[in-house]
Amino acid sequence: MAAVEPIIRTRDLNVYYGPTMVINGVTMDMEPNRITAIIGPSGSGKSTLLRCFNRMNDLIPTFRLTGEVLFDGQNLYASGVDPTEIRYQIGMVFQRPNPFPKSIFDNVAFGPRVNGFKGDLPGLVEQSIRRAALWDEVKDRLKESALSLSGGQQQRLCIARALAVEPRVILMDEPCSALDPISTLAIEELMRELSRQYSIVIVTHNMQQAARVSDFTAFLTPQGDKTSELIEYGETRQIFTTPKDERTEAYITGRFG
């Protein structure tokens, strides 16, 4: 698709929960320093696909995967790969803000601490919170509980927390679905800003959001009963203006899903 070396690529990715195949044959390349959106109707396995990229699905006992997920050319699912190592490099932001019941500072410092960070921790925390565009709101209350923040602030704190381990990729699983429109706008602006330094993959059920923020869009939808397939993947403008597949067109024009 492009000349640059993709940061994450999948090859014939099939995902199973127990005997049920939920994702069938996804092959896609994601470019660095771009925002890639994964859209599709509810239950189309968007989040499942996203969670393959940092091995979060490993926590589900019945999960099984065939095919490859390559990060910088290295297969994440090769034997001997430590999932915790992967997660230092590929951070994640969740659907609902999930700050730890600790202080604002300790939330951001959590990742560096478990990774044995030696250096200027307060500086790193400040830098991470600044990058998440939250510094001015919390600089005088770093010792207060993170649970005292508003939902939108909590989500930006979770982004700061993810940035503090200096990942190269940030996965976002419907990061705005629990937020009000103003907080959503703030997060979207932040994503555009962050995409200069990081590669971002975002799952969203909100097509306008995908159109607003992303560079590339992947459309996933269930075929038949449960198994989802990647229907179309390309530049966001092309997907939203001249989709090649009629199912994509039907979805983005709101005829189903």
Tokens for 254, please give them.
């709101």
Q: Which residues contact 254 (CB under 8 A, 6 or more apart)?
A: none
Taking phi over 0 as left and psi of -120 to 50 as alpha, with beta for the rest, 198 belongs to: beta
Q: Which residues contact 17 (CB under 8 A, 6 or more apart)?
A: 60, 62, 63, 64
* Number of residues engaging another protein in binding (CB under 8 A): 27
Q: Tell me the closest approach of the beta carbon of residue 91 to another protein, in angstroms.
A: 6
Among 42, 79, 84, 208, binds another protein (CB under 8 A): 84
Check residue 119 for interaction with another protein (CB under 8 A): no
Residue (of 6, 171, 166) closest to 72 by Cα position: 6
Q: Which of residues 167-196 bind another protein (CB under 8 A)?
A: none
Return the range that interacts with another protein (CB under 8 A); candidates 20-28, 82-90, 117-125, 188-196.
82-90
Q: Tell me the closest approach of the beta carbon of residue 159 to another protein, in angstroms.
A: 12
Check residue 61 for interaction with another protein (CB under 8 A): yes
Among 67, 99, 175, 243, binds another protein (CB under 8 A): 99
The residue among 115 and 206 lying less far from another protein, judged by its C-beta, is: 115
Q: Which residue blocks in 118-242 are alpha helix, DSSP H?
A: 121-131, 135-138, 151-163, 181-194, 207-213, 236-241
Check residue 110 for interaction with another protein (CB under 8 A): yes
The 3-state DSSP class for residue 29 equals strand
Among 19, 73, 80, 101, binds another protein (CB under 8 A): 101
How far apart CA 169 and CA 138 sit, in angstroms, is 25
Binding site for another protein (CB under 8 A): 54, 56, 59, 61, 84-85, 87-88, 91-92, 94, 96, 98-102, 110-111, 113-115, 147, 158, 161-162, 165
